[in-house]
Amino acid sequence: MDVLQGLENRSPMFALVENRARAEFIVSVIIKYGLADAATLEGHPLLVQLAGKAKPNPALMSMSRGDRLRSAMQELGTTFIKIGQLLSTRADLVGPDIAEALSALQADDPADTPEQISATITADLKMPLDQAFASINLVPLASASVGQVCKAVTTDGTEVVVKVRHEGVPEVVAQDLAILNALAALLEKDVAATRVLQPVQVAHQLSTSLTDELDFRRELGNLVRVSANFAGNDSYVFPKPFPELSGDAVLTESMLEGTRFSTVINDLSVDQANDIIRLIANMYFQMIFVDGIFHADPHPGNLLILDDGRLGVLDFGKCGRLRDGMREAFIDFLASVLTGDIEESTRCMLKVAPGPSDVDETRLQADLEGWIETYFPGSAGSATMHADLGSAIAALLDIVREYNLRMPTDMSLMLIVVMQLQGILEESGSSLTLTELLMPFAQEIQQERMSPKRLMRKALSTAHRWEHLIEVLPGDLTRLLEATSRGELKVPLTINGIDRPVNRLAYALVATATINGTAQMLSRKAGPTVGRVSVPGLIGTAASAYLGYHVIRAIHKAGGLSQ
- pLDDT, one tens digit per residue, over 189-213 is 765 555 555 677 777 777 887 888 8
State how far the alpha carbon of 377 is from the alpha carbons of 53, 102, 334, 339, 341, in Å. 56, 32, 14, 10, 12
Strand partners for 165 = 147
Helix axes 535-557, 500-524, angle to 10 degrees: 160
Inter-residue contact 34 to 68 (CB < 8 Å) = yes
Q: Which conformational region is residue 518 in: left (phi greater than 0), alpha (psi within -120 to 50 degrees), or beta? A: alpha
Pairing of strands 159-165, 250-254: antiparallel
Rounded mean pLDDT, 41-70: 82
Strand partners for 149 = 142, 163
With a cut of 70, say whether residue 2 has pLDDT above it: no
Alpha-carbon span 310 to 354, nearest angstrom: 41
Position 379 scores a pLDDT of: 44
With a cut of 60, say whether residue 293 has pLDDT above it: yes
Cα 271–Cα 274–Cα 280 angle in degrees, nearest 5: 145
Among 562, 231, 261, 303, which residue's Cα sits nearest to residue 429? 261
Position 381 scores a pLDDT of: 46
Alpha-carbon span 330 to 339, nearest angstrom: 14
Alpha-carbon span 368 to 337, nearest angstrom: 9
Q: Please tell me what DSSP assigns to residue 257.
A: P
Count Cα neighbours of 227 within 13 Å in the Cβ-side half-sphere: 17
State how far the alpha carbon of 228 is from the alpha carbons of 65, 219, 223, 224, 293, in Å. 42, 14, 8, 6, 11
Torsion on CA atoms 386, 388, 392, 395, rounded to nearest 10: -130
pLDDT band at 364, cuts 50/70/90?
very high
Position 136 scores a pLDDT of: 96
Position 197 scores a pLDDT of: 56
Inter-residue contact 182 to 19 (CB < 8 Å) = no
- For the ranges 67-81, 116-130, 463-477, which has the lowest average pLDDT? 463-477
Among 391, 397, 373, 370, which residue's Cα sits nearest to residue 383? 373
Query: Residue 196 carries which side chain, given as an amino acid letter?
Result: V
Whether the link from the prior residue into 536 is cis, omega within 30° of 0, is no
pLDDT band at 253, cuts 50/70/90?
very high
Alpha-carbon span 445 to 234, nearest angstrom: 25
Q: How far is CA 295 from the centre of its chain?
A: 14
Position 294 scores a pLDDT of: 94
- For the ranges 61-65, 209-213, 301-305, 395-399, which has the lowest average pLDDT? 209-213
Q: What percent of the chain has pLDDT over 70?
A: 74
Q: What mean pLDDT, rounded, does the chain reach?
A: 81
Position 40 scores a pLDDT of: 63
Inter-residue contact 124 to 247 (CB < 8 Å) = yes
Strand partners for 52 = none
Helix axes 342-352, 361-375, angle to 10 degrees: 110
State how far the alpha carbon of 381 is from the alpha carbons of 334, 335, 338, 378, 384, in Å. 12, 9, 7, 8, 9
pLDDT tens profile 109-164:
789 999 999 999 999 999 999 999 999 999 999 888 889 999 999 999 999 999 99
With a cut of 80, say whether residue 315 has pLDDT above it: yes
Count Cα neighbours of 189 within 13 Å in the Cβ-side half-sphere: 13
- CB within 8 Å of 241: residues ≥ 6 apart: 220, 223, 224, 251, 252, 253
How many residues can be counted in the chain?
563
Q: How far is CA 553 from the centre of its chain?
A: 53
